Amino acid sequence: MPNLSASDKLLRYRRGDAPLPSHNRLWPLYGAGFDRLGRRGRPVEGSVPHCDPDELLLRHDASGLCFSDFRVIRAGQEHPRVYRDMEADPVVLGHEVCMTVVGVGEHLCNGYKVEDRFIVQPGIYLEGVGFAYGYEIQGGLSQYSVIDRRVLHGDHGNCLVPIQPGAGYAEAALTESWVCVNAAHHLKYRTSLKRGGTAWIVASPKGPGDRPYTQSAGFDEASHPRALLLTNVPNGFAAWLERRAAVSLPWRQRE
């Protein structure tokens, strides 16, 4: 094979049609702590997975490291989204990931082709069960992974999101984190009680000091809850809240 220039190598890599390597390299997490990431501080090598007729073989091109990844590394088996024995079945992290299709199952040839590029919506559910990418499904800290019906036909549809052909690998992988930053600047916080919702009033056991408890807004037509829950609320304030509600609520819980 003739020597390829750097641009030719990049073009061939982008096409995704080069022969697959003999080994797949990944960073499994076997428990809590960075010393449990990989084996003796190095990635683990295994065979490149094979995709079945209804599956895709993906190459992970770039993966960001989210703060939630570090939480899994810190907590290990105690993390609330880890449901298995990590020593026997380790977690492969990485949900901020850019990927390229390098293998297409025969039943998917009409919808996908080698060279297609995607990012993934990591919150994946199938029949009400969560299969988060980088938690239950092998994530971006691996070279190759198989995408199955959980991703392609989940409860909320297809979780693969196409990206522009010219988008950089790192640029695409960081889409989720940039979306989070953007959303944080556009959050609209509700400043009144939710109409038709449940209002839960929790008072401090130490009380308000010299000032009486009050509720400055709510219980009007625009923000009238369906139910009122009171915890540690003094009797006087509880009576004031009920008068403020002005109508009979379907039910009320006192603690």
User: What is the per-residue pLDDT across 187-203, written as a single tens digit (0 to 9) for each?
Assistant: 777 778 888 888 898 88
Whole-prediction pTM: 0.72
The pLDDT of residue 240 is above 60: yes
User: How far is the C-alpha of 11 from the C-alpha of 5, rounded, in Å?
Assistant: 10
The tens digit of pLDDT for each residue in 203-213 reads 877 766 556 77
β 252-254/117-120 pair status? unpaired
Interval 137-165 mean pLDDT: 95
The pLDDT of residue 243 is above 90: no
pLDDT of 235 reads 83
pLDDT of 207 reads 66
Percent of the chain with pLDDT over 90: 56
pLDDT of 209 reads 59
Which domains are seen in the chain, by residue range?
A: 6-180 (3.90.180.10), 198-254 (no CATH)
Map residue 119 onto helix, strand or coil. strand
pLDDT of 251 reads 44
Q: What is the mean pLDDT of the chain?
A: 88
Interval 156-165 mean pLDDT: 93
Cβ partners under 8 Å of residue 27, min gap 6: 37, 38, 43, 44, 92, 93, 141, 142
The tens digit of pLDDT for each residue in 82-111 reads 989 999 999 999 999 999 999 999 999 999
Which of 34, 33, 4 shows the shortest CA–CA distance to 18? 4
- For 49-115, strand residue ranges (E) read 56-64, 96-104
pLDDT of 32 reads 96
Residue 78 pLDDT level (bands cut at 50, 70, 90)? very high
Interval 34-45 mean pLDDT: 95
